[in-house]
């Protein structure tokens, strides 16, 4: 009986030492990707040149969604883009607004995009 207990203890010790060694060799998990659901994540990702087109498309989708909702609700448009304004121009204006309103960076991205476009593109 003592031999079985000693053998079990030795096996448990060996396994725990092996597991500890294996855990020590495991590389750390990569940092969590920034979420575009929060304004600071969107702002941070859109500062990188390789993300500009994706950010402009995201903003276009958001803006079109707001427009569709106003049509469904039979309301006036919430904001109006100037004639000939590109999506990149629109993104540049929104990012400038965000940079000037850092206190809003922990809000949902959609809320800040809405505020930025209300401020920058009023309908006349």
pLDDT at 27: 55
Domains of the chain, residue spans: 39-120
* Closest C-alpha to 80, from 124, 110, 41, 24: 124
The mean per-residue pLDDT over the stretch 5-25 comes to 45
pLDDT digits (tens, 9 = 90+) for 21-56: 444 555 554 455 678 899 999 999 999 999 999 999
- CA-angle at 90, arms to 38 and 62, nearest 5°: 50
Asked whether the predicted pLDDT for residue 72 surpasses 70, the reply is yes
pLDDT at 61: 96
> Using H for helix, E for strand and C for coil, what is the string for the chain?
CHHHHHHHHHHHHHHHHHHHHHHHHCCCCCCCCCCCCEHHHHHHHCCCHHHHHHHHHHHHHHHHHHHHHHHHCCCCCCCCCCCCCCHHHHHHHHHHHHHHCHHHCCCEHHHHHHHHHHHHCCCC
**pTM recorded for the entire structure:** 0.72
- CA-angle at 47, arms to 46 and 49, nearest 5°: 85
Confidence of residue 11 (pLDDT cuts 50, 70, 90): very low
The mean per-residue pLDDT over the stretch 44-69 comes to 96
Neighbours of 97 (CB within 10 A): 18
- Residue at token pair 């092996």: 18
């Amino acid at each position: 009986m003592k031999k079985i207990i000693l053998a079990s203890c030795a096996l448990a010790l060996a396994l725990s030492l092996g597991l500890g060694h294996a855990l020590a060799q495991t590389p750390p998990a990569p940092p969590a990707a920034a979420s575009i659901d929060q304004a600071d994540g969107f702002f941070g990702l859109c500062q990188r040149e390789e993300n500009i087109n994706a950010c402009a498309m995201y903003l276009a989708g958001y803006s079109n969604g707001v427009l569709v909702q106003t049509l469904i609700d039979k309301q006036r448009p919430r904001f109006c883009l100037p004639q000939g304004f590109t999506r990149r121009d629109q993104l540049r204006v929104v990012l400038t607004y965000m940079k000037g309103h850092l206190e809003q960076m922990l809000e949902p991205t959609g809320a800040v995009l809405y505020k930025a476009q209300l401020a920058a593109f009023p309908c006349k």
